[in-house]
Amino acid sequence: MSGRLIVLVGPSGVGKDSVLAHARASLARLPQGGGVRFARRAVTRPATAGGEDHLALSEDEFHSALDEGRFALWWGSHGLHYGIDREIDDWLAAGLTVVVNGSRAHLPLAWQRYPRLEAVLLTARPDTLAKRLAARGREDEAAVAARLARTPPPLPDGMALTEIANDGELAEAGDQFVALLLTAPTGSTAEAPSAPDQRR
């Protein structure tokens, strides 16, 4: 595949949805969107839950889609299931840059399937995360504290990785992300390790 697969990861409250929205709006002003496509996630979460524009599926619908081979990537997190449609393979084959809102814990498996994957880690200070999680209003104080106390899984050694801090104005992190999408790939520093096939 001649395209680029860029997976954006980061903790809850770091602003991934906002950075992605900024990038979409910026790239929409360029011819052919700058050759960038954003994957829409299928999520076992109601469409009315807010946040990202996702394809809402029930548990049964998600597992049916999985059994039918409709997902290129899939994972579970915090009691929800997420899937990325196989259309991303067509976009990559066409030489496009494909952006996925992904999962840090799932990166090793994603890298095993797409060895040229580039990861972007969005970061923010703990106090910034706490304020954003509280403002989001989805969880009580205890749940927010539990999220902040979690130790994130390590990132795979050798994977192409860019870190972007999102503590200031959205445009700062958003413009950095757009610039990365429009630049040449950095390339992985090592071959992807073997990993077991994904299973439900």
Pairing assessment for the beta strands 4-9 and 80-85 based on DSSP bridges: unpaired
> In the prediction, which pLDDT does 189 show?
38
Q: Would you state the structure tokens that stand for residue 195, as one six-digit string?
A: 């990993």
How many Cβ atoms sit within 10 Å of the Cβ of residue 134? Answer: 14
Domains of the chain: 4-39+95-181 (3.40.50.300)
- Give the pTM: 0.85
Judge residue 123's burial from the number of C-beta atoms within 10 Å of its C-beta, 0-12 exposed, 13-18 middle, 19 or more buried: middle
Q: Residue 49 — pLDDT band, cuts 50, 70, 90?
A: low
CB atoms within 10 A of CB 164: 22
